[in-house]
Amino acid sequence: MRSMEAAQAQDIVLVGATGDLARRKLLPALYNLALDGLLPAEGEVIGYARGQLTDDEFRRHARAAVREHSRRHFDDSVWEPLARRLRFVCAREHGLAGVAERSTQERRLVYLATPPSLFAEITRELAEHGLTRGVRVVIEKPFGYDLRSAAALDDGLKQHLDERQIYRIDHYLGKETVQNILVVRFANSIFERLWNRDAIDHVQITVGESIGLEGRGATYEQVGAFRDILQNHVLQVVSLLTMEPPTSFEAEAIRDEKVKALQTIVPIDPAEVVLGQYTRGVIGGEPIPGYREEEGIAPDSQTESFAAARLRIDSWRWAGVPFFVRTGKRMPRRVSEVTIQFRDAPITFFQPTQVSALRPNRLTLRLQPEEGIGLSFMAKPPGPEVDARPVQMTFSYGDSFMTEPQEAYERLLHDAMDGDRTLFLRSDGVQRAWEIVEPVLASPPPVSYYPAGSWGPPAAEGLISPRAWHLDD
Ligand code: BG6
């Protein structure tokens, strides 16, 4: 993989520059890239939005965003040179012609931090103003609502852009721990030889959030947990876990293998899906209203805030190894974790009376928080008796590298400026992810209920039974 260097001279255009994504993620990411000396040495940073701001007002807005959301300390000596490069163009007054006028570089990165319904229209306007030459356009999910709308979105973009100019973000791929899946698999000799049906009983993935809808009720209501997290973030993680070794670590070689991995996932059977919706409950001592009581949500809503599924993988490596995945809002805590559970030892020498607890080995990839990896195995506790007890070997990012992981958006923005497509989705991969979920979208099972602050409806236990969901403590 490449080392990080400042990207080539280019303008950065943030479309939707005063919106939530720009405020919480993009502007702070630009600041942190500046702090690390990774911004292009030359080029403007042009904010484009409907509001009527002067350059100075936009700078003040951006400064406040960075102060509030940057992961690292605010430093005026880093901020000032970046602020001098900030410009603002009012969409209503000048349109993209205003951006064309202020753009100084041959190369541009245009980040569409807008609702996806505007992607095609903005791309058309970019073309109209000669802004598609030398451009890379970054877009973020949702890439459509189903297979058909995803194809329509793609067609709209491709009328003016080449596939190589489109950078589709799944921000999970920007997470250090998610990238680390490939390093753990392909830079060690011990794991990969166990990474198959001979050694693995099943794999499970939990993406739990304790937060609710965060003011996005009306949007979320149209989406639900299955489309919001499972169709994209979870399937991307599955593709990294299941892909074959690439022929090289070049972007296309990795993306080829990821798409092939997605092709081996059997479209999900709705009978193997559990959808849930939270009712009133308590998290961390706080009373939480039910989903249907949230702002923007219909009182009889059938939208799911929880989804679990069993995935079947039709490949030589994975045949017969189930992948159980679950995600939900208003779970007891925020946790993204992958557990690889190995098969039982072939013969048990230890009688149940002798052992306190005989457990299968588990490799746990803690994606967030407390990023790290754990391996559990059985060991003999000290004492005269022959007993076996599970113990845990742990790697923690914080302890080993003495640093917190970089924010996903910093990495992704930098890679897009640098033209490195490894961590971005290719259109065939997006299409395949929709194909995998299509049967469930076509006939979704009814939602069942779970109290806020629990791990989902009881049916989710049934889905994985006789196995059980597991999280590292
Ligand atoms: C987004 C979803 O893609 O990911 C949100 O739309 C979710 O609903 C978010 O909260 C979670 O991201 P992270 O990085 O906080 O795990």
- Per-residue pLDDT in tens (0 to 9) along the chain, 473 residues: 445 788 899 999 999 999 999 999 999 999 999 999 999 999 999 999 999 999 999 999 999 999 999 999 999 999 999 999 999 999 999 999 999 999 999 999 999 999 889 999 999 999 999 999 999 999 999 999 999 999 999 999 999 999 999 999 999 999 999 999 999 999 999 999 999 999 999 999 999 999 999 888 999 999 999 999 999 999 999 999 999 999 998 999 999 999 999 999 999 999 999 999 999 999 999 999 999 999 999 999 999 999 999 999 999 999 999 999 999 999 999 999 999 999 998 877 777 666 666 889 999 999 999 999 999 999 988 988 888 888 999 999 989 998 877 889 999 999 999 999 999 999 999 999 999 999 999 999 999 999 999 999 999 999 999 999 999 87
Write down the pLDDT at residue 2.
47
Token pair in block for residue 395: 């790697």
Nearest atom within ligand 1 for CA of residue 368:
16
How distant is the alpha carbon of residue 35 from its chain centre? 24
Structure tokens, 195 = 């990474």
Pocket of ligand 1 from Cβ distances under 6 Å: 171, 209, 228
Q: Whose CA is nearest to atom 15 of ligand 1?
A: 209
Is the Cα torsion angle 39, 416, 19, 406 positive or negative in sign?
Answer: negative
336 CA closest ligand 1 atom index = 16
Residue nearest atom 9 in ligand 1 by C-alpha distance:
229
In one-letter notation, the amino acid at residue 272 is E
Q: Whose CA is nearest to atom 14 of ligand 1?
A: 172
Cα separation, 99 vs 90, in Å, equals 9
Cα angle 35-40-41, degrees, rounded to a multiple of 5? 90
Choice from 175, 209, 370 to test ligand 1 binding pocket (greatest atom count within 8 A of CB): 209
Query: Which two three-digit tokens encode residue 202?
Result: 């099943």
From the candidates 61, 171, 202, 233, which is the catalytic residue? 233
What distance in Å separates the CA atoms of residue 111 and residue 240, rounded to the nearest whole number? 26
Q: Whose CA is nearest to atom 13 of ligand 1?
A: 172
Query: Which atom of ligand 1 is least distant from the CA of 170?
Result: 3
Q: Which amino acid is at 190?
A: I
Pairing of strands 200-208, 335-342: antiparallel
Radius of gyration of the chain (CA): 24
* DSSP three-state, residue 318: coil
For tokens 């690439």, what's the residue?
246
Cβ(48)–Cβ(96) below 8 Å: yes
Q: What is the pLDDT of residue 352?
A: 62
* H-run or E-run covering 259: helix 251-264
Contact assessment for residue 102 and residue 115, using Cβ atoms and an 8 Å cutoff: no
Cα(39) to centroid(ligand 1), Å: 26
- Report the separation in Å between the CA atom of 107 and the middle of ligand 1, taken as the mean of its atom positions: 30
Give the residue whose CA is nearest to atom 2 of ligand 1: 228
- Give the span between the Cα atoms of 326 and 343, in whole angstroms: 22
Q: How far apart are CA 288 and CA 307, in angstroms?
A: 20
Amino acid at 248: S
Residue nearest to atom 5 of ligand 1 (CA): 228
Structure tokens belonging to residue 256? 């080829």
| Beta carbons of 62 and 47 less than 8 angstroms apart | yes
Q: State which ligand 1 atom lies nearest to the alpha carbon of 233.
A: 3
d(CA 330, CA 240): 27
- Asked if 46 and 126 touch (Cβ cutoff 8 Å), the reply is no
Strand-strand pairing, 273-279 and 281-283: unpaired
Residue whose pair of structure tokens reads 């074959």 in the numeric block: 244
Estimate to the nearest angstrom the gap between the alpha carbon of 24 and the chain centroid: 16
> Ligand 1 pocket check: which of 139, 223, 228, 306 to mutate, most ligand atoms within 8 Å of Cβ?
228
Which pLDDT belongs to residue 345? 86
Asked if residue 268 lies in contact with residue 440, where contact means CB atoms within 8 angstroms, the answer is: yes
The CA distance from 306 to 334, in Å, is 14
In the block, residue with structure tokens 């005269």: 384
CA geometry: angle 61, 62, 67, nearest 5 deg = 100
d(CA 367, CA 393): 16
Decide if 61 is catalytic: no
Give 218's contacts (C-beta < 8 A, 6+ positions apart): 295, 296
Which atom of ligand 1 is nearest to 207's Cα? 16
